[in-house]
């Protein structure tokens, strides 16, 4: 068992109306990843944020052609096409760097971002996933284990979590992968600090999501 865990987030291609169409419109992009952000947190009090990871990916479609970010994606995330051109890495290199950063730690996101970051993106690119599905967990299950009501969990998003718990992350931007990862992490750290979430639960990906008594 490690004494640290990773909280991560990814941003993936979208366009106006694409979520309502389940990305099935004739002009909708494949929802592949173009940004990954993550933090490593310590699982001993005071549960500090130890390290950060951030990478921009140059997205390509299933035929290998570069994809231009839709204006909606640029506006939501703050990642511009100019930044992708200047900083964007190929998917295999970006995921390789993320895998090295992750080490042996459990990987948690708000929801199941591994689908867009690993499953869909690697399938579209025709590359082998560098991390297996068993390495990933849904942080919503951690809130459930901490006794947070399901109705509340279902309404929350990564960028609204801190407000729900009366917390702030002033320098974190919503819909930025690193910003969202930090906002989820600050809530998990808060729940561990208050004794509502046992730190060992952060290392047990296959554990039952049943709430604490």
Q: What is the pLDDT of residue 213?
A: 47
Is residue 213 in a domain? no
- Is residue 101 in some structural domain? yes
The overall pTM is greater than 0.85 = yes
Residue 191 has which token pair?
A: 């729940």
Mean pLDDT of 76-93: 98
Domain-located, residue 18: yes
Mean predicted confidence (pLDDT) in 12-20: 96
pLDDT at site 211: 54
Residue 208 lies in a domain: no
Which residues form the domain of 19? 4-203
Handedness of CA 89, 160, 45, 199 (dihedral sign): negative
Cross-strand pairs, 136: 107
- Binning the chain into helix, strand and coil, the percentages to the nearest 5 are 40, 15, 45
- Whether residue 211 lies inside any domain: the answer is no
Give the pLDDT confidence of 22-60 residue by residue, as tens digits: 999 999 999 999 999 999 999 999 999 999 999 999 999
How far apart are the two ends of the chain, measured CA to CA in Å? 24
Q: How many CB atoms lie within 10 A of CB 190?
A: 18
Compute the distance between CA of residue 67 and CA of residue 57 in angstroms, rounded to an integer.
11
- Structure tokens belonging to residue 68: 């231009």
Q: What would you report as the CA-atom Rg of the chain, rounded to the nearest whole angstrom?
A: 17
- Respond yes or no on whether the N-terminal peptide bond of residue 46 is cis (omega within 30° of 0): yes
- pLDDT tens digits, residue range 112-130? 999 999 999 999 999 999 9
CATH number for the domain spanning 107: value is 3.30.420.10
Q: How confident is the prediction for the chain on average, in pLDDT?
A: 95
**Domains contained in the chain, number:** 1
Q: How many CB atoms lie within 10 A of CB 168?
A: 11
Name 13's Cβ contacts closer than 8 Å, sequence gap at least 6.
Answer: 29, 30, 31, 32, 34, 59, 67, 69, 70, 73
């Amino acid at each position: 068992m490690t004494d640290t865990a990773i909280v991560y987030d990814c941003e993936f291609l979208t366009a106006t109306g694409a979520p309502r169409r389940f990305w099935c419109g004739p002009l909708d992009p494949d929802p592949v990843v173009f940004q990954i952000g993550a933090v490593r947190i310590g699982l001993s009090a005071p549960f500090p944020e130890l390290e950060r990871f951030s990478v921009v990916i140059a997205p390509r479609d299933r035929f290998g052609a570069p994809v231009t970010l839709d204006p909606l994606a640029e506006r939501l995330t703050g990642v511009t096409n100019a930044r992708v051109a200047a900083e964007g890495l190929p998917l295999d290199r970006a995921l390789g760097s993320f895998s090295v950063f992750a080490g042996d730690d459990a990987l948690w996101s708000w929801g199941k971002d591994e689908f867009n970051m690993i499953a869909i993106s690697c399938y579209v690119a025709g590359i082998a996933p560098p991390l297996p599905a068993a390495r990933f967990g849904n942080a919503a299950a951690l809130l459930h284990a901490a006794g947070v009501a399901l109705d509340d969990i279902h309404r929350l998003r990564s960028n609204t979590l801190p407000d729900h718990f009366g917390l702030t992350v002033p320098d974190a931007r919503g819909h930025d992968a690193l910003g969202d990862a930090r906002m989820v992490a600050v809530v998990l750290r808060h729940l561990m600090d208050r004794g509502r979430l046992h730190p060992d639960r952060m290392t047990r990906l296959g554990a039952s999501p049943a709430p604490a008594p």
